[in-house]
């Protein structure tokens, strides 16, 4: 019996060791996260398979004694590198270096562009700062070019950062993207977020249409953002020729002009030829301003006693777009904020136009006649939001002229500012534009990665009655449950006591 137990134990240990040896030759992970952050995207797999003959060496500069909140980042990065190495069939290799071991290694990391982070840690009931390194250097070939990742972020954007760096090293020539000028469009200095995101894999350039030359087909896409001045007939013919030659077009146009300083919103009627040109391609706008209960906020100054301050106020003219169609350009998007806009009409489409709605306002939307005086402090009611979802972005495939067009019914949602004063934009505002340009450019695409980390999730708008029910229910329900359980226990105890008395007598 004893020998049998010993043999059974030996077989269990041997099986466990054999299983670990077999598992060391394979790498897999089970991913139960909502955004599948631990599952490699199709874009990453394609890029790893296209590394070619050159090898990629990753040198990760990570401090060894990291605090617990940063230690998981190091482990996630190492797991990710192991998976990349397996999928690249050994063309990607990696090593970890602890810069804190010596001044020489620390100086080496800093010279390569990896600066230390000052991290607060608790040690023996005291707070102190340590110099933590969390960066990486990617090198192509033995004497090839390098790319620096100064700081490895948490797992949400880790795959995007690493894959983009590999793509940058393996791309021989960056294709061009043309940003149209000459009609009051913002320059690239006012589109800093878009320019930064595109510059990794593309060459964004200004382009002005001339009478003597055609739009070069070297440009993968032509981007028209927020034109304010009229187009002439020659420019529109040149754009048609570009489309007919296989070019693609992104248009972000504001059919409604909103002036908060003047407290007015009115129809954009200064570009009649451009409107007619769009209409021939099935793009027309409703003559009303869009409002949405699911919206952004503006700051309003209020006097409270002797003090004055700014408080955020919901502003339905700034709708949050959270309803997206299943399309390559919208994958992973959570919420995009538009400013003054008008819905795109989806009726009476011309022959030869394939029209696809890409994004919609919420189910609690409304339409306002133009022009309108904008009252920031207006008390909105349910009657104001009397229409359902409205189309605010569309994709158009043309048969004559040929080509693809993506249209956003807002020209300001992706503009950072005038080059001097910049505003912070929601991440998905930029992600949507960059994803669209990549899709129009027929690239392998990093859109799935760019939007992999959850950026912003909004609560669905609910009626005030339901809101109060939920609020007071959350407060009262636990109390009622405890009281009910107490009464139940009291009844059980009394019944037991009565049974005991009866048995006694």
DSSP helix/strand/coil, 153: coil
Residue 350 CA to residue 44 CA, distance in Å, equals 39
CA 22 to mean position of chain CA atoms = 39
**Four-CA torsion 280, 284, 287, 290, nearest 10 degrees:** -170
Contacts of 191 (CB under 8 A, 6+ apart): 179, 225, 414, 415, 416
**CATH number of this structure's domain 176-450:** 3.40.50
List helix spans (H) across 171-271.
192-198, 233-244
The pLDDT of residue 186: 94
Write out the two tokens for 246: 């296989």
The pLDDT of residue 356: 93
How many other C-beta atoms can be found within 10 angstroms of the C-beta atom of residue 165? Answer: 20
The pLDDT of residue 286: 94
Residue 314 CA to residue 455 CA, distance in Å, equals 20
Cβ 171 vs Cβ 89: under 8 Å: no
Pick from 438, 381, 494: nearest CA to 164: 438
Contacts of 114 (CB under 8 A, 6+ apart): 61, 99, 133, 135, 136, 137, 148, 150
Write out the two tokens for 304: 């409270």
The pLDDT of residue 505: 47
**CATH number of this structure's domain 25-170:** 3.40.30.10
Write out the two tokens for 15: 């099986």
At 402, phi and psi to the nearest 5? -70, 165
How many other C-beta atoms can be found within 10 angstroms of the C-beta atom of residue 1? Answer: 5
Tell me the angle at which helices 233-244 and 272-279 cross, rounded to the nearest 10 degrees: 30
The answer to whether the bond into 12 is cis (omega within 30° of 0) is no
Residue 446 CA to residue 451 CA, distance in Å, equals 9
Radius of gyration of the chain (CA): 30
Pick from 127, 126, 96: nearest CA to 114: 96
Residue 498 CA to residue 505 CA, distance in Å, equals 11
N residues, the chain:
505
Residue 55 CA to residue 92 CA, distance in Å, equals 6
Cβ 320 vs Cβ 292: under 8 Å: yes
Residue 360 CA to residue 425 CA, distance in Å, equals 20
Cβ 251 vs Cβ 231: under 8 Å: no
Query: Burial of 57 by CB count in 10 Å (0-12 exposed, 13-18 middle, 19+ buried)?
Result: middle
The pLDDT of residue 179: 97
The pLDDT of residue 127: 73
> Beta strands of 226-271 (E only): which ranges?
248-252, 256-259, 264-267
Any bridge partners for residue 254, and if so which?
A: none
Residue 270 CA to residue 230 CA, distance in Å, equals 6
Q: How does 351-365 read in b/e, with b if 16+ C-beta sit within 10 Å?
A: eebebebbbbbbebb
**What is the pLDDT tens value at each position of the chain, 505 positions in all?**
556 667 777 778 777 777 776 655 555 555 545 555 567 777 788 888 877 777 899 999 998 878 877 888 888 899 999 999 988 888 899 999 999 888 899 999 999 999 888 887 776 667 777 788 999 999 988 767 889 999 888 766 788 889 888 888 887 788 899 999 999 999 999 999 999 889 888 999 999 999 888 999 999 999 999 999 999 999 999 999 999 998 999 999 999 999 888 899 999 888 889 999 999 998 999 999 999 999 999 888 776 667 777 888 999 999 999 999 999 899 889 999 999 999 999 887 888 788 999 999 999 999 999 999 999 889 999 999 999 999 999 999 887 777 899 999 999 999 998 656 678 898 999 999 999 998 998 765 566 666 665 555 555 666 667 777 777 788 788 888 888 888 888 888 888 887 777 765 4
């Amino acid at each position: 019996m004893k020998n049998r137990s010993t043999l059974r134990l030996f077989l269990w240990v041997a099986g466990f060791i054999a299983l670990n040896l077999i598992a060391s030759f394979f790498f897999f992970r089970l991913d139960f996260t909502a955004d599948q952050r631990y599952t490699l995207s199709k874009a990453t797999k394609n890029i790893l398979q296209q590394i070619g003959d050159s090898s990629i060496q990753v040198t990760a500069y990570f401090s060894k004694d990291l605090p617990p909140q940063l230690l998981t980042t190091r482990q996630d990065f190492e797991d990710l590198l192991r998976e990349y190495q397996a999928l690249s069939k050994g063309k990607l290799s990696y090593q970890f270096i602890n810069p804190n071991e010596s001044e020489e290694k620390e100086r080496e990391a800093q010279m390569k562009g990896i600066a230390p982070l000052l991290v607060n840690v608790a040690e023996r009931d005291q707070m102190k700062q340590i110099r933590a390194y969390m960066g990486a250097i990617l090198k192509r070939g033995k004497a090839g070019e390098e790319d620096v990742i100064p700081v490895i972020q948490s797992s949400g954007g880790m795959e995007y950062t690493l894959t983009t760096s590999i793509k940058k090293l393996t791309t021989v020539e960056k294709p061009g993207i043309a940003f149209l000028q000459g009609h009051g469009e913002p320059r690239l200095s006012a589109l800093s977020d878009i320019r930064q995101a595109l510059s990794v894999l593309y060459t964004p350039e200004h382009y002005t249409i001339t009478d003597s030359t055609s739009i070069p087909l070297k440009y993968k896409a032509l981007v028209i953002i927020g034109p304010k001045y009229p187009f002439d007939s020659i420019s529109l013919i040149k754009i048609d020729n570009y489309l007919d030659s296989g070019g693609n077009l992104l248009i972000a146009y504001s059919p409604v002009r909103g002036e908060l300083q003047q407290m007015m919103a009115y129809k954009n009627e200064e570009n009649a030829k451009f409107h007619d040109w769009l209409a021939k391609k099935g793009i027309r706008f409703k003559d009303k301003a869009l409002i949405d209960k699911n919206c952004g906020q503006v700051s309003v100054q209020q006097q409270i006693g002797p003090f004055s301050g700014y408080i955020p106020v919901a502003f339905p003219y700034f709708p949050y777009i959270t309803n997206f169609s299943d399309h390559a350009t919208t994958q992973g998007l959570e919420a995009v904020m538009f400013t003054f806009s008008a819905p795109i009409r989806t009726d009476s489409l011309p022959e030869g136009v394939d029209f696809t709605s890409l994004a919609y306002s919420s189910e609690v939307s409304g339409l306002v006649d133009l022009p309108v005086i904008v009252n920031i402090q207006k008390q909105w009611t349910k009657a104001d939001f009397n229409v359902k979802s409205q189309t605010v972005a569309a994709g158009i495939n043309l048969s004559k002229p040929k080509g693809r067009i993506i249209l956003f019914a807002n020209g300001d949602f992706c503009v950072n500012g005038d080059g001097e004063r910049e505003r912070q934009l929601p991440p998905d505002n930029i992600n949507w534009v960059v994803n669209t340009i990549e899709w129009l450019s027929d690239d392998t695409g990093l859109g799935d990665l760019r939007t992999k980390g959850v950026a912003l999730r909004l609560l669905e708008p609910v009626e005030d009655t339901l809101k109060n029910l939920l609020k007071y229910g959350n407060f009262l329900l636990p109390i009622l449950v405890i009281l009910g359980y107490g009464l139940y226990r009291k009844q059980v105890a009394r019944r037991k006591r009565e049974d005991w008395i009866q048995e006694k007598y």
